[in-house]
Amino acid sequence: MVARLSVIGRRSKVTWASTNSRVHEIASQPLNPVTLRRLLELGETSNAKESSLLLHEELPKRLARRVKAVQKLPFIVGVNPHIRSIYQLYLDSFETISNLPQPTNDAAEQLFTTTLKDLVASHSDVIPRLAKGFQECGKYMSKEDAADFLDGMIHARIAIRVLAEHHLALQDPIPGYIGVLNTNLSPTTLLKSTAEYVQELCEVNYGIAPEFEMTGHLDTKITYIGNHLEYIFMELLKNAYRATTEYHRKVKYSGDPVPVLITVARGPEDVTVRIRDRGGGIPPEEMARVFEYSYTTVPKSEIEDDHSIFSSQSRQAMQQGVGGPIAGLGFGLPMSRIYAKYFGGSLELKSVGGHGVDAFLRVPNIPRSGSGFIL
């Protein structure tokens, strides 16, 4: 992408050529790994000033790396309105944060925290914009290059958001939480509420909906970020309910659809959730593509249908920036896998042709004593 391309900022007109030197300098600095142990330590000591100093040093480097990543995109991709707006957002955020005084006193720390809160809100719709941008111009890149760019953007966004929201949460402590970490999170409770919600949406959309059954170690409690699990559960359950209901209609079974089966298994080092549907399975040629960005089995008519309950739910989740599925844009499963892998977990799908799909989500059973997983 040419360096002379001008981009209009909120406060001034800047060019990539004029920012390249400073962006390159800061982006080239090594990142200081921030572990969950460090997050827990900051939260347990409620050291907001130390947290501010950490973010003041780390966020500009992470934002600068995203600016450079967009600059390296092919010209025709980078000038897409959605991608260009993301570039400007990251550049503005980089300049704002890096120009703040070091938060070494109460006034500077308060200014940093207030500014950070505004920036977190401004980044809430980055993923939908990325999805739309690559839906429109992703064909101008190879699948491998596009996937590498999107993986990097989404992974970095998770890191930036976790660091920022953890700091903000330290300012207003909630019982049972250390920053954004829920120290008493029940996967069963979250699965149940998400399944009930998806079941209701499914019934409104199709007129029928499967029940769900839960088995296993239902009393399991872990220390984790609830929004990450909620995103994954929503995507997997939405897929299970859609597949089961549509297959039930296709084969013209009598009676109600077969229930969606949910199992929670607790091991010494991790917790595994299995979600099993009776949607007929995924053909091998589609199975090889389910984790590709922009791949979707949602009909185009439903994507564009404002009255589709799944699409409406997706738009609402995108607006809230919580992390619901992005129906029809093909980001749900690849993003779910990134969230799962982020703290050392995994997400796998196993298809049984003519029967259904088992989705296996594994997340670490993080001890309160800390973890070495890197943000």
CA distances to 146, 320, 334 from 294, in Å: 10, 21, 9
Query: What's the whole-number mean pLDDT along residues 205-230?
Result: 94
| CATH architecture observed for domain 182-364 | 2-Layer Sandwich (3.30)
Residue range(s) occupied by CATH 1.20.140.20 in the chain: 6-178
Task: Measure the CA–CA gap between 266 and 273, rounded to whole angstroms.
Answer: 9
Region 47-52 average pLDDT: 80
pLDDT higher than threshold 80 for residue 14? no
**What's the mean pLDDT in 117-145?**
90
Torsion of CA 321, 324, 330, 335, to 10 degrees: 80
At 12, is the pLDDT very low, low, confident or very high (cuts 50, 70, 90)? very low
- What pLDDT sits at residue 367? 58
pLDDT of residue 73: 94
Exposed/middle/buried for residue 302 (C-beta within 10 Å: 0-12, 13-18, 19+): middle
pLDDT at 48 over 80: no
For residue 321, the model assigns a pLDDT of 39
The alpha carbon of residue 84 and the mean position of all alpha carbons in its chain are separated, in whole angstroms, by: 21
Higher pLDDT, 169 or 41: 169
Structure tokens at 260: 């969606």
Any alpha helices (H) in the chain, and if so which ranges?
16-27, 36-45, 48-71, 75-78, 81-98, 106-122, 126-137, 143-170, 187-206, 226-250, 284-287, 300-303, 309-320, 332-342
pLDDT of 317 reads 47
Pairing status of strand 181-185 against strand 177-178: antiparallel
Strands 356-364 and 212-216 come out as: unpaired
8 A C-beta contact, residue 239 and residue 344: no
Calculate the average pLDDT of the chain: 84
Q: Report the DSSP pairing between strands 222-224 and 212-216.
A: unpaired
Residue 203, token pair as written in the block:
């019934």
pLDDT at site 319: 40
For 96-154, the DSSP string reads HHHTSPP--SHHHHHHHHHHHHHHHHHTTTHHHHHHHHHHHHGGGS-HHHHHHHHHHHH
What is residue 340's three-state secondary structure?
A: helix
Is the confidence at residue 313, as pLDDT, over 60? no
Q: Is the pLDDT of residue 199 over 80?
A: yes
pLDDT digits (tens, 9 = 90+) for 58-106: 999 999 999 999 999 999 999 999 999 999 999 999 999 999 999 999 9
Q: According to the model, what pLDDT value does residue 375 have?
A: 63
Centroid of chain to Cα 283: 27
What confidence tens digit (pLDDT) does each residue in 274-303 have? Answer: 999 999 999 998 998 899 886 665 555 454
Architecture field, domain 6-178: Up-down Bundle (1.20)
> How far is the C-alpha of 41 from the C-alpha of 277, rounded, in Å?
41
Instruction: Give whole-number Cα distances, 212 to 205, 257, 275, in Å.
Output: 17, 10, 10
Angle between helices 143-170 and 332-342 (to 10 degrees): 60
pLDDT in tens, 222-246: 989 999 999 999 999 999 999 999 9
Q: Which tops the pLDDT comparison, 44 or 13?
A: 44
Q: Which pLDDT does position 6 carry in this prediction?
A: 38
Residue 371, pLDDT > 60, answer no
pLDDT at 202: 92
DSSP label at residue 35: B
- Could you tell me where in the chain the CATH 3.30.565.10 domains are found? 182-364
* Mean pLDDT to the nearest integer, 301-325: 45
pLDDT value of residue 121: 93
Q: Which of 203-207, 252-256, 339-343 has the lowest mean pLDDT?
A: 252-256
DSSP of 61-96: HHHHHHHHHHHTS-HHHHTSHHHHHHHHHHHHHHHH
- pLDDT classification of 149: cutoffs 50, 70, 90: very high
At residue 322, the pLDDT reads 38
Q: What's the confidence (pLDDT) of residue 307?
A: 45
Cα 284 from Cα 200, distance rounded (Å): 31
Q: 71: Cβ–Cβ under 8 A, 6 or more apart, which residues?
A: 1, 16, 20, 78, 87
Q: Which one, of 277, 282, 238, 247, lies nearest residue 259 by Cα? A: 277
Q: What is the pTM of this model?
A: 0.84
Please answer whether residues 324 and 314 qualify as being in contact, where contact means their C-beta atoms are separated by less than 8 angstroms. yes
